[in-house]
Structure 1
Amino acid sequence: MKRQHAIKQVSSDTFGWRAGLLRAVADASTEWATTDGLIWLHLFKTVLAALLALGIAMLLELQQPRTAMTTVFVLMQPFSGMVLAKSFYRIVGTFVGMLAALLLGALFAQQPELYMLGITAWMGACVAAAVRYRHFRWYGFVLAGYTAALIGIPTVMEPNGLFLAALTRAAEVAIGIVCSAAVSALIVPRRSSLALQNALQSRHLNFTAFAMKVLDGAVERGTSERYFADLVDEVVGFEATRAFAAFEDPGMRSRSQVLARLNHEFMDVCARLHALHQLRKRLRGNPSVQVVEATAPYFHELSQLLGANKERRFDSSDAARVAIRLKAFQATLPARMRATRRPLESDEPQCLPDFDTAGELLYRFVVEFIRYIDTYASLETNHNPARERPPVRYVSRTNAFVVACTFARTAAVVGAISWFWIATNWPSGGMAVIGAALTCALTSSAPNPVRLALQMSVGAACATIAGYLVTCYMYPAIDGFPLLCAMLAPVLAVGTFFASRTKTAGYGVGFTVFFCLLAAPDNVVVYAPDLLINNGIAIAASMLVTAVGAAIVFPVQMPWLIARIEGDLRRQVTLACTAPLMGLAHRFQSSTHDLMHQLRMLLPKRSRRHRHALRWMLVTLEVGHAAIDLRSEIERATYASDAHPRWKHSLDRVTGDLAQLFERPDKAHAERTQISVRAAMRVVQQVLEAVHTDREKRHDQQRILSCLHFIRTALLDKGAPFDTR
């Protein structure tokens, strides 16, 4: 019996050890499949699409099959929706660039000086427009620019071959587009729609956890600023993902406007939460601690309601349950707040403005969260209340000086290399101009174009060496297309691997793109290593010139240029104070986040200037939202002008002084704005006493007082970035 028991024990231990090993292997495999496995999948699909495009172009006997390969490497993205979106804009950009090349060739036939002047102006205009219209529209403008250079420069002195070259290039690009889209969508596709849904769930769960900490007063110093800074990137990234998810999924396309509204409503909820957090932070340093104690139960109750769902997934049914609980809380909140307020009227009347403002901000946060959660809950249902509201549009803003500097920088680089080519009759000068045009275009949206251009130059130099070795030793020993693919695949895979890594993306892009342009095989391979080396030197030199130009000709990180963007960020308050109210909240929110995203791209993270810009964004959102709320309440309470002749004038003066303060934030404007806010509060208080018997009118004036009081606390905040010296 003992022996049998021992045998069973050994068998059980062996089975348990094997089961544990299998679980560990399964967990490791799952982790690899969701991290490095995705990189290797993207690498395999990219190389496969490139070789497929090369084979089809060779089969059709096109002039330069390498163009189809280059198209694939420029086009391929991890998600199929991104590939389809880029394909659409690439088709449009290629067509426009082809027309521009034909028009310039017709106007300046066999006149290289005028033709290159036109190409330079066209490139500068396209790259500047790409900076103005970002995301995947950027790609369309970039393609329109350097497609004209790729088509026109080789045939600048042969106008008779220009039309045929344009048609041939269009066919080669079309093959690359079709191969990229087909491989991305048919072979183990990664759907942008699924990534968008996962991002929605993750963002909501993270925000709910952070909101609970804010409501419970458990947020550490500096944590809130870092969290709201990260939300800027999430909001902008969500908008970009929503745009290209519509290209791959008809369901996402039909819900695109609903998702856009959901993103805007999420921005509204974040802004309300930040305002609530700021007020509570200011009240802790206020002698009126009774307000914190009186409102704490409501904040804690709301925190418990938000944290009722403990699951790591959040779907429409969960959102519907949260919405029901929040609506019940909202329905009873005003009456309960009034009951809590009554003892303060006799015991602590000086605390009433703080209490009323805290209650108003809490109520507005609940209202915005319910609106957001209702839209979230209706994403998977046929009836969506968001469709019944006016459509919203994400508004991006780019400073005019940034656009002008981009045009000047691109024109200076392309113009200088074009002049050198014409003046010296350099045989590889045309390739140098093409390399400069490509580099200026591809680095136009980079936060550090100098570093990216240098990385691309190193990648192009390596591509030249690899191309020389392939041309001299590989192509002569290859017989047949299958062997050609087998020999090219490792070379292309190396470049794709580096391009898929963030820190080495420039090296990979430079290697893959220019290896295809320099050394990819044609139908009839020409053995000309000297031409390959000369063209490689020309491309690497043009990239170095581009890096120098980006460093000295209006560099993107110039202090005065960043100061211009910061000025645009502050002037968002002017927009909130003066623009028409219809759709103003959405325009204000999206453009403010877009400007801050630009600053986050340009300024080093955790630097003093980054923290300064972030504080301006947060106070701009606070005061801007309060100004919009104030103007909305003023529109509804026009009757108050009869109760006090200075009511409208005093409130208009507040919005005017706010706009001037954010235009020129100095001590004089800050003091004048504080004086106008206090004067307006006195006038509104007099109107409140005059209409006290009318419940609706009394509540109107109390909301206006709450807006003014919050603006006043924001102006008096010692952590605000106003220059009060």
Structure 2
Amino acid sequence: MPKPPNAAEMIFSAKSFAAAMLALYIALGMGLPRPFWAMMTAYVVAGPLSGAVRSKAVYRVAGTILGSVAAVALTVALVDAPELMVLGVGLWVGLCLFVSLLDRTPRSYLFMLAGYTAGLIAFPAVTSPDTIFDTGLARVEEILLGILCATVIHSVVLPRGIGPVLLARLDATLRDAERWTLDALSGADDAARAADRQTLARDVTELRVMSAHLPYDTSDVRWMTRSVRALTDRMTYLLPVLAAVGERLAALREAGDRDGSGGLPPALLPVLEDVKRWIADDSGTPAQADALRAALDRLAPVLGDDRDDPSAWHRATLLGLVTRLRTLVGIHRDCRELRAHIRSGNHSLPAHLDPLTRGRSRGVFHLDCGMALWSGAAAFLGIVLVSGFWIATGWSSGSAAAMMVAIFCCFFASFDDPAPGIRMFLVFTLLSMPIGAFYLLVVLPSTDSFPMLALSLAPTFLLLGCFIPRPALMGQSMALLFGVAGSLSLLDTNTADFASFLNSSSGQVVGIVAALQVTRLCRSVGAAWSARRLLHAGWREIAALAAVRSPSAATGFESRMLDRVGLLSARFAQIGPQPGRRLDPAAIDAVADLRVGLNVVELQRVRPALGRAAAPAIERLLGGIAGHFRARITKDTAKHPSPPPEELLGSLDGALSSVGAAPPSPERDRAVVALAGLRRSLFPTIALQAPAHPEGVTA
């Protein structure tokens, strides 16, 4: 039993109902042929956050116009061949859905609406193509009217901006990041660190999605969009750096426990405590952060030619720890400064922060072209099958069935398995039919004015609207609401009788059932299948990065991998522990893959400055890494990822010796840090050998 609606939900429902009634009233006054479409559109675009409503409205308007133009063009071109027209519309819907799934921003609504809007306009015109222009124009007017009314009402009447919600989520994520940083520096257990990393990845991805709506928001935060995006970009780097610090601390402590030295040099311990105190103190200043970074610089060990030194990896790991700690402090400093700047509302950034807003990474989301193509093909197949049955039988409601296939194949295409969502919508559409029949056949015939119509609709629509803001109940309430509104639309065509109601309802049900069956046969995949596909995409990109020579190929890699970590964590939560199965989440560490990729990118960037002497060893190492990740994909070793070959460990040793022999330079130190990170990520069980006289770090 759902809990009663709260004040915010009731206000949202009242605003949505007011927008729907305003759209219906204007549509009736304008004499539009299907005014209830305007009412339904007002609910389609409704949302609890005004910024999201406005951002989606812009793209919905563009998508509606584009879809209408496509419908008219296809109908005019294929007016004498209804079979070819259906094929053309099906191809258009599939193409638009494919493009929509390759864009995980609000812009995706443009392409999705362009697809199924063409179906909404073209399918009814199959039997009367001479009315296509008038029908297309009317649909555009009705849909745009609903979008305009919803946008105005939600933006003007008690608007709830996305800015405050985003800032609250941003503050919570920053607090969690500081807590997780302290846990990592204090040596928290591996299971706790892994859960923290996955949560951080999900939070950063959600912040990126929310910030896409920010330019359209009604709050003052919209003027700080660049700063918010720069802050999320900085947080993107926090996850791999935090994981690297934790891993290096663990490795050095393990080495110290074996020989009784404690692992960490005495001079590093007080600085490490100072770092922890600064992170725990919300009032810590940027000047203190800069002092900590300078102290860490002084603690960096001096590297030499470690060709024959068995403890060379220990010093390299120590250098990596100091370097990553310095980076960690810098990230937290930048995040705090950017958050303070956003809080101040000052549009002009300090000089040292401005480059962060201009260097925003592109291609920040993982995209799956294969699944997008397959989803578009499934929509095309469903439309062709239902339309073939419709044309062959001459069924008068066949166009409604074809429209439902287009709509439902598009709406649920982003799910791993769309079938449960479509099935839920089918069940609640069936439940809505008695309510719709009661309104259509009993209540509305006795209403003789618009105020009476609005009053009769208010109890049902106000109640259902209260549950739309709840993610767990949104689908059910929208299905009931659309089912009732769809029944009311029969008034538009003067067919408000029981036979027409049954015929129209059967068309909707057949269309939803067809979409469900086609989806189950062609498109449904499980969380484990999607997780393997995500893993393979990451491995494929790492192999490509190791094989190329241009560092520019890595643009956006860290953001895409972080997005994959968040997507994987959500699917692993669905799968649960499955030891011995084909995919065992407990045996997979996607964050380690992210760190491997970042270290590969770092090696690619610095190797031109290392000279020819180090080039063959680095080339051999990168080739081995590329081969290892290609082999993972070929063997599908996601169940229990096989360890890298021993030859790769030898390549790492050779690369460290060659790099250590290079002349001292910042690039050489960066290469050593990257090699130490690769060794720990690829061979976490290989212990370090501590030096006999640990003098690597001095005060």
Shift of 1:444: 1.2
Name the residue aligned to 1:354. 317
Shift of 1:504: 3.0
What is the one-letter code of the residue matched to 2:673? S
Determine if contact 1:460/1:536 at 8 Å carries over to the other structure: no
Name the residue aligned to 2:621. 654
Name the residue aligned to 2:297. 334
Q: 256, 268, 275: which one pairs with 1:302?
A: 275
Deviation string, structure 1 residues 631-690 (Cα, Å, up to 9, x no partner): 33324x34x43xxx3x11211222222222222237685323212111111222333xxx
Further displaced range: 109-118 or 255-264: 255-264
Shift of 1:586: 5.5
1:247 aligns with 2:216: yes
Shift of 1:88: 0.7
Name the residue aligned to 1:7. none
CA distance in structure 2 between the aligned counterparts of 1:362 and 1:655, rounded to whole angstroms: 26
Determine if contact 2:565/2:591 at 8 Å carries over to the other structure: no
Name the residue aligned to 1:619. 592
1:670 aligns with 2:633: no
Instruction: Flag the structure with higher helix content.
Output: 1
1:36 aligns with 2:11: no
Deviation string, structure 1 residues 181-236 (Cα, Å, up to 9, x no partner): 1111111110111222222222111211221121122x234121112112222112
1:323 aligns with 2:289: no
Within a 5 Å distance, the mapping from 1:276-315 to structure 2 comes to: 276-286=245-255, 287=258, 290-292=262-264, 294=266, 295-309=268-282
Q: 358, 364, 382: which one pairs with 1:413?
A: 382
Determine if contact 1:120/1:414 at 8 Å carries over to the other structure: yes
CA distance in structure 1 between the aligned counterparts of 2:591 and 2:399, rounded to whole angstroms: 49
Shift of 1:78: 0.7
Name the residue aligned to 1:188. 158
CA distance in structure 1 between the aligned counterparts of 2:313 and 2:624, rounded to whole angstroms: 26
Name the residue aligned to 2:695. none
Alignment CA distance shift 1:568-1:340 (3 Å):
closer
Name the residue aligned to 1:682. 657
Deviation string, structure 1 residues 527-583 (Cα, Å, up to 9, x no partner): 322111221122122212212222121323286565333210222323543567666
Alignment CA distance shift 1:617-1:441 (3 Å):
same
* Identical columns (%): 21
Name the residue aligned to 2:681. 714
Shift of 1:338: 5.1
When the two chains are superposed, the root-mean-square deviation of aligned CA atoms in Å is 3.0
Shift of 1:104: 0.7
Shift of 1:330: 0.9
Alignment CA distance shift 1:347-1:298 (3 Å):
farther
Name the residue aligned to 2:108. 138
CA distance in structure 2 between the aligned counterparts of 1:490 and 1:572, rounded to whole angstroms: 54
Shift of 1:92: 0.9
Name the residue aligned to 2:454. 485
Deviation string, structure 1 residues 148-206 (Cα, Å, up to 9, x no partner): 11111111122221111111111111111111111111111101112222222221112
Determine if contact 2:316/2:673 at 8 Å carries over to the other structure: yes
Name the residue aligned to 2:167. 197
Deviation string, structure 1 residues 376-433 (Cα, Å, up to 9, x no partner): 3443332344434543244123222212211221112111111111111111111111
Shift of 1:496: 2.7
CA distance in structure 2 between the aligned counterparts of 1:564 and 1:524, rounded to whole angstroms: 48
Name the residue aligned to 1:723. none
> RCO (CA 8 Å, sep 6+): is it higher in 1 or 2?
2
CA distance in structure 2 between the aligned counterparts of 1:350 and 1:236, rounded to whole angstroms: 35
Shift of 1:699: 5.1
Determine if contact 1:402/1:561 at 8 Å carries over to the other structure: no
3-state SS of 1:664 partner: helix
Alignment CA distance shift 1:122-1:597 (3 Å):
farther
CA distance in structure 2 between the aligned counterparts of 1:115 and 1:71, rounded to whole angstroms: 26
Q: 47, 70, 77: which one pairs with 1:107?
A: 77
Shift of 1:98: 0.4
Name the residue aligned to 1:209. 179
Alignment CA distance shift 1:651-1:387 (3 Å):
same
Alignment CA distance shift 1:209-1:601 (3 Å):
closer
3-state SS of 1:292 partner: coil
CA distance in structure 2 between the aligned counterparts of 1:358 and 1:526, rounded to whole angstroms: 75
Shift of 1:69: 1.1
Determine if contact 1:153/1:430 at 8 Å carries over to the other structure: yes
1:383 aligns with 2:352: no
Within a 5 Å distance, the mapping from 1:59-78 to structure 2 comes to: 59-78=29-48
What is the one-letter code of the residue matched to 2:272? F
Shift of 1:108: 0.9
Alignment CA distance shift 1:632-1:297 (3 Å):
farther
Within a 5 Å distance, the mapping from 1:682-701 to structure 2 comes to: 682-687=657-662, 691=663, 697=664, 700-701=667-668
CA distance in structure 1 between the aligned counterparts of 2:386 and 2:490, rounded to whole angstroms: 28
Name the residue aligned to 1:19. none
1:258 aligns with 2:232: no
Determine if contact 2:527/2:571 at 8 Å carries over to the other structure: no
Name the residue aligned to 2:49. 79
What is the one-letter code of the residue matched to 1:98? S
Q: 326, 329, 333: which one pairs with 1:366?
A: 329
Alignment CA distance shift 1:256-1:445 (3 Å):
same
Determine if contact 1:273/1:365 at 8 Å carries over to the other structure: yes
3-state SS of 1:421 partner: helix
Shift of 1:327: 0.8
Within a 5 Å distance, the mapping from 1:417-496 to structure 2 comes to: 417-496=386-465
Determine if contact 1:670/1:715 at 8 Å carries over to the other structure: no
CA distance in structure 2 between the aligned counterparts of 1:417 and 1:91, rounded to whole angstroms: 28
Alignment CA distance shift 1:197-1:502 (3 Å):
closer
3-state SS of 2:525 partner: coil
Q: Which runs of 5+ in 2 are unaligned?
A: 633-640, 688-699
CA distance in structure 1 between the aligned counterparts of 2:537 and 2:296, rounded to whole angstroms: 38
CA distance in structure 1 between the aligned counterparts of 2:606 and 2:177, rounded to whole angstroms: 29
CA distance in structure 2 between the aligned counterparts of 1:103 and 1:617, rounded to whole angstroms: 47
Shift of 1:490: 1.6
Determine if contact 1:94/1:144 at 8 Å carries over to the other structure: yes
What is the one-letter code of the residue matched to 1:227? D
Determine if contact 2:50/2:154 at 8 Å carries over to the other structure: yes
Alignment CA distance shift 1:305-1:600 (3 Å):
closer
Determine if contact 1:581/1:628 at 8 Å carries over to the other structure: no
Determine if contact 2:162/2:219 at 8 Å carries over to the other structure: no
3-state SS of 2:31 partner: coil
Determine if contact 1:575/1:588 at 8 Å carries over to the other structure: no
CA distance in structure 2 between the aligned counterparts of 1:611 and 1:241, rounded to whole angstroms: 31
Name the residue aligned to 1:694. none
Shift of 1:366: 2.3
TM-score by length of 2: 0.87
CA distance in structure 2 between the aligned counterparts of 1:250 and 1:585, rounded to whole angstroms: 35
Determine if contact 1:330/1:366 at 8 Å carries over to the other structure: yes
